[in-house]
Amino acid sequence: MSTVARRTFRSTPHRDATETWHRIVDLLTRGKDGDARHELLAVTGIVSAVITDQAPKVSPIVSTCDGPRVRIYCAYDDDALDADFGDEAPLSFDALKGNWAISLPCAKGDLDWVTRALKKHSERITARDADAGITLDDDAAKAEPLTLNLEGLKK
């Protein structure tokens, strides 16, 4: 079973969409310079539009790699102004280890242009319909549901 970490970034009006994306990039890259950071920063304008449209409010930005998956949400309006709201703590692992990818939630009406724009900069960063949910990887899809053996607990 895959491990999943969750983070929530305070966005507008606490910080603008571009600054929100830069903070997310810092989280994913652990503040280190390199090819991954440059690839993530190359799509700043596109991702800023997605963040401005509030797509990551309910459907997360998803980072997958050879390690744990990261789901990143954004908080807006009053929630973004609440200093106690959100969780922007650093990750204890490399979120871009090995074969990484980023999936961005996007409003259905913007999906075509966002997809085309992202392809000009990256094969690893893609967009999905925010209303369609998140596709599970093969291992997660095949996992058996957790069941509780009450009779076993009574013994």
For the chain, domain boundaries: 4-140
Q: What is the CA radius of gyration of the chain?
A: 17
pLDDT band at 94 (very low <50, low <70, confident <90, very high): very high
Q: What was the pLDDT predicted at 151?
A: 61
d(CA 45, CA 60): 18
Q: Mean pLDDT for the chain?
A: 89
**At residue 6, does pLDDT exceed 50?**
yes
Q: What is the pTM of this model?
A: 0.84
Q: How many C-beta atoms surround the C-beta of residue 82 within 10 A?
A: 12
pLDDT of residue 109: 95
**16 — pLDDT class (breaks 50, 70, 90):** very high
What SS3 string covers the chain? CCCEEEEEEECCCCCCHHHHHHHHHHHHHCCCCCHHHHHHHHCHHHHHHHHHCCHHHCCCEEEECCCCEEEEEEECHHHHHCCCCCECCCCCCCCCCCCCEEEEEECHHHHHHHHHHHHCCCCCEEEEEHHHCCCCCHHHHHCCCCCCCHHHHHC
